[in-house]
Amino acid sequence: MRFTKNLQFVILTISLILLVKPIYAVADPIQVRYGYEKVGKLDIFYREAGDPAKPALVLLHGFPTSSHMYREVLRGLADGYYLIAPDYPGFGNSSFPSPETFTYTFDHLAEIMGQFLEQRGLKRYSLMIQDYGAPVGFRIATAHPERVQAIITQNGNAYKEGISPAGWGPVLDYWKGKTPELEKTIIENVFSYPALKWEYTHGTRNPDAINPDSADLDYLKMSRPGQHRMHLDLFYDYQNNLKLYPQWQQYLRENQPPVLVVWGRNDAFFPEPGAKGYKRDVKDIDYNILDTGHFALEEEHAFIVGKIREFLRKRNIL
């Protein structure tokens, strides 16, 4: 009798294990994948998620970060969309050719990113742009307007009133003339670890809740030999983006892509007037000003991901 009870207990235990095991054996359905695409001589790193057969969303990062900034967007939308977030040359995990042999301009970055999208077979997509993602993304959009289904801008500027003189400070002087003194000032006040951390926390509602890993990662990458020269070259070239603003605004007026604005109002570099500019040129606009800073995704990713899903669905980008 005792043996029978023990046997029943063993059978029951095994049955429960067999029932529970499949729960833990199921793979995460929202899995981010990582890879490299050879573009010319460069290895372009990218993160991707979702089914490539679904509508594509190209995520273009800002300064001084990488595709890492879109980690929550990748996981949050991969059930319904195909998302791909590349690192520009010199950023993140992509190749970092020396500034002595590679021209770091926004024309060049956009050219490489455009070739990257061609090689990945992307012919129709929505663009999400933030900071540097705007000059890269608008160059891609104006080159192939027929490919862009929608634009999501998170402090991705295309208007002169969206440039804060106080925030840009010595960079505006740098445009008037390069000097060793100005370069030293920029390096000390923009590229230092405290400055990078400030960029993530300034204007946020709860700075203590901002994960420091992003600033740590950016500083680690920026500490590589040659990085200061690369970023100074891009800072100097940024003035050429302002010269293209009228062309980008004309693209918006003529092509009328739906635009979702999710803008941190407390951005020290691209204040809210830059967001308002889109209202002048775009008829189909979903306008959202958020009480946060430059990297709104760090504090408002849940809202932004939900808003992107709603915005695309309402426009039948499914």
* Amino acid 29: pLDDT: 57
List, as one string, the DSSP characters of 78-90: TTTSEEEEEPPTT
What is the residue extent of each domain of the chain?
Answer: 33-164+241-314
* Amino acid 30: pLDDT: 73
Which stretches of the chain are assigned E, i.e. beta strand? Answer: 33-39, 42-49, 56-60, 82-86, 125-129, 148-153, 259-264, 285-290
pLDDT reading at 116 higher than 50: yes
Q: Are 150 and 315 in contact (CB under 8 A)?
A: yes
CA–CA dist 156, 154 (Å, integer):
5
pTM of the complete model:
0.91
Query: Residue 117 is which amino acid?
Result: L
Query: Residue 161 is which amino acid?
Result: E
Q: Is 269 left (phi over 0), alpha (psi -120 to 50) or beta?
A: alpha
303: number of Cβ within 10 Å? 15
Per DSSP, the chain holds a count of helices (H) and strands (E) of 13, 8
Residue-wise pLDDT tens digits, 247-290: 999 999 999 999 999 999 999 999 999 999 999 999 999 999 99
194: number of Cβ within 10 Å? 11
* Amino acid 4: pLDDT: 47
Query: Residue 313 is which amino acid?
Result: R
| Cα atoms found within 13 Å of the Cα of residue 300, Cβ hemisphere only | 23
Q: Is 252 exposed, middle or buried (0-12, 13-18, 19+ CB in 10 A)?
A: buried
Catalytic (active site) residue 301: no
pLDDT reading at 203 higher than 70: yes
CATH number of 33-164+241-314: 3.40.50.1820
Average pLDDT over residues 55-83: 98
* Amino acid 28: pLDDT: 52
* Amino acid 206: pLDDT: 97
Residue-wise pLDDT tens digits, 180-201: 999 999 999 999 999 999 999 9
CA–CA dist 22, 254 (Å, integer):
54
Spot the catalytic one: 68, 202, 294, 301: 294
Query: Residue 123 is which amino acid?
Result: K
Task: Categorize the per-residue pLDDT at 10 as very low, low, confident or very high, splitting at 50, 70 and 90.
Answer: very low
148 forms beta bridges with 125
Residue-wise pLDDT tens digits, 26-64: 345 579 999 999 999 999 999 999 999 999 999 999 999
Mean pLDDT (the chain) is 93
